[in-house]
Structure 1
Amino acid sequence: WLVVEGVSEPVHLNTHDCFLLPHGRPFVLASDLSVTPIDAMTLFADKKGNGAVNVLNGGGTLFGVGGHFAFDSKHANILLSILPPFVHISKESDKATMRWSLEHMMKELRDPQPGSFLVVEHLAQMILVQALRLYLGEGVHGGVGWLFALSDEKMSLVITAIHENPSHRWTLQEMAERAEMSRSTFALKFKEKVGISPMEYLTNWRMILAGDKLTNSSDSVSMIAEAMGYESESAFSTAFKRVLGSSPRQYVRNLTAKI
């Protein structure tokens, strides 16, 4: 059984089931819900660290693979805020999709070879993407956000185009034409699916990319502004501060202070 804080009902888990906890809420795994749970930190206190296979109480019939993903704190909310408290992959067809990655991960963990850490890291990323794909493929439960909008063929065309060419001088009319809709219908449907207007989404995406460039490149603010489709560094800086909470130069100073 899986019990997640804030979720009213426990979830029954079967062999090869997979679950994600996007918000990192406390949870309990139990074969008997009447038994008082033991803090996992106590169980693993004297065990090996990340990437290790640990045996508890002499072993048994359960083998579980667990891990966590770390996101840039400034950007994590864009993905995580639109996901539910937990994602449960339980259909046999869906589990078969993930089984290859899980089985290969277990093999690498049980019998480490040169490069195993890198292999496990990439397999974990594959599992995350597969789980999100399967979740979105279930009808999306009326969710709102860019990730959910990708399951809509017409919205997906526009979002993908923005992602592939953020520096393009996008207009609402051009986006609507890609979606084969009138401007008013497109703007309304986009906001219903994504939760914000098309132009606001474009700005947010550009600023995320700009923040990444400031972090991982030596490009000047003016160069980044131009790469993000801005003719004016001033207009770019204003948009950057509105989305990420500080000016580009202050953003860089904050990064330097953390090193």
Structure 2
Amino acid sequence: MDPLEDVLSLIGATSRLSAALAAGGPWALRFDPPAGVKFNVVRRGTCWLRVDGVADPLRLREGDCFLLTRPVAFTLASDLELPAEPAGPRFAAAVDGVARAGAGDEVFLVGGAFTFSDRAQALLLDGLPPVIHVAAGTPEAAAVRRAVEEIDTELQRNAAGARLVAEHLAIVMLVRILRLYLAGEAGRTSSGWLAGLTDPTVATVLRRMHARPAHPWTVAELARTAAVARSTLAARFKQVVGQGPLEYLTAWRIELAADRIRRGDGTVATIARDVGYGSESAFSVAFKRTIGLSPRAYRAAAATARSD
């Protein structure tokens, strides 16, 4: 199994496209903290991006894309010295899916947001920097650029189902951006399970555990699958991921179980057995230690949330 695919499936990634932005002349817009992971693609022109809490602003050029992985405010502008007006009213007044700022349209951005389940922060977002910038001039960005062009084509065609197709293409773009991040220097020097996907030894072990999460893995057996010594694996996994391999396995089992409990898929006893626990009591202790609620209390909370 592919751990990245597993996690993206588990956190229920969906996308929603917002109005595009056309701007020209002097302009500056201040955006409230987004719900979910915000993305924008510069289809034409150049502008500046400044994100609260991030030291250096980014100069965005035609073909560039960025992801904001934290709910923080940000500014897009022709000049960051200009006073910024709230973006909300501009987008509320969008005509034919296009909001406008300044005078002219030499700058054009397409954007939207990805939303995830409640567990996304711990599973995916905590392993990412606040901003991921994909520069159009890099050879690695070609795959992302193709996805963006396909999104743009769908939106311009306005054919039946075009917006749905574009939103699915945005998920493809997200996967490609994450691949680029992992392949880049930042991905190789970061920590967490995402960083583990870039380490040959750790990645091998992650794939084994994701393929058979209920198997009674030991560090020794996992080390044999990666053709390294037990001590080497334990040290390397801890260094890269930030926890030991069996700690990670426990956390992943609990995530799989939590997903099934939210969906009402099976009894607690059945789910406990399916994710590798010999007894319901042992599973319940591990679940509460990780999630903060017993499996039954978690199921009741999920049912209440669905009915609201």
Tell me if both proteins adopt one fold, taking TM over 0.5 as the criterion.
yes
2:81 equivalent in structure 1: 34
Using the alignment, how far apart are the partners of 1:216 and 1:117 within structure 2?
27
Using the alignment, how far apart are the partners of 2:83 and 2:140 within structure 1?
32
8 Å contact kept, 1:74–1:244: no
Using the alignment, how far apart are the partners of 2:83 and 2:142 within structure 1?
33
TM-score normalized with structure 2 length? 0.79
Identify the structure with bigger relative contact order (alpha carbons < 8 Å, sequence gap 6+).
2
8 Å contact kept, 2:90–2:99: no
Does residue 1:67 correspond to 2:117, yes or no? Answer: no
Does residue 1:192 correspond to 2:239, yes or no? Answer: yes
1:53 equivalent in structure 2: 97
Q: In 2 relative to 1, CA 127–84 (structure 1 residues): closer, same or farther, beyond 3 Å?
A: same
TM-score normalized with structure 1 length? 0.94
8 Å contact kept, 1:53–1:109: no
8 Å contact kept, 1:75–1:208: no
Using the alignment, how far apart are the partners of 1:253 and 1:191 within structure 2?
35
Picking from 80, 83, 105, the partner of 2:125 is 80
Q: SS of the counterpart of 1:19?
A: strand
Residue 55 of structure 1 and its aligned partner are, at CA, apart by 4.1
1:146 equivalent in structure 2: 193
Percentage of pairs with the same residue: 41
1:133 equivalent in structure 2: 179
1:210 equivalent in structure 2: 257
Q: In 2 relative to 1, CA 212–59 (structure 1 residues): closer, same or farther, beyond 3 Å?
A: farther
Picking from 255, 270, 273, the partner of 1:226 is 273
1:18 equivalent in structure 2: 65
Larger deviation, residues 11-20 vs 73-82: 73-82
Does residue 1:103 correspond to 2:165, yes or no? Answer: no
Using the alignment, how far apart are the partners of 1:111 and 1:218 within structure 2?
40
Larger deviation, residues 56-65 vs 78-87: 56-65
Task: List alignment gaps of at least 5 residues for structure 2.
Answer: 1-47
8 Å contact kept, 1:16–1:95: no
Report the RMSD for the aligned CA atoms in angstroms.
1.6
2:21 equivalent in structure 1: none
Using the alignment, how far apart are the partners of 2:260 and 2:153 within structure 1?
37
Q: In 2 relative to 1, CA 73–174 (structure 1 residues): closer, same or farther, beyond 3 Å?
A: same
Q: Which portions of structure 1, spanning 4 or more consecutive aligned residues, are displaced by more than 6 angstroms?
A: none
1:161-176 matches, within 5 Å, as 161-176=208-223
8 Å contact kept, 2:91–2:99: no
Task: List alignment gaps of at least 5 residues for structure 1.
Answer: none
Larger deviation, residues 59-68 vs 79-88: 59-68
Report the residue type matching 2:250 in the other structure. T
Of Structure 1 and Structure 2, the greater strand share is in 2
Aligned length: 256
8 Å contact kept, 2:94–2:100: no
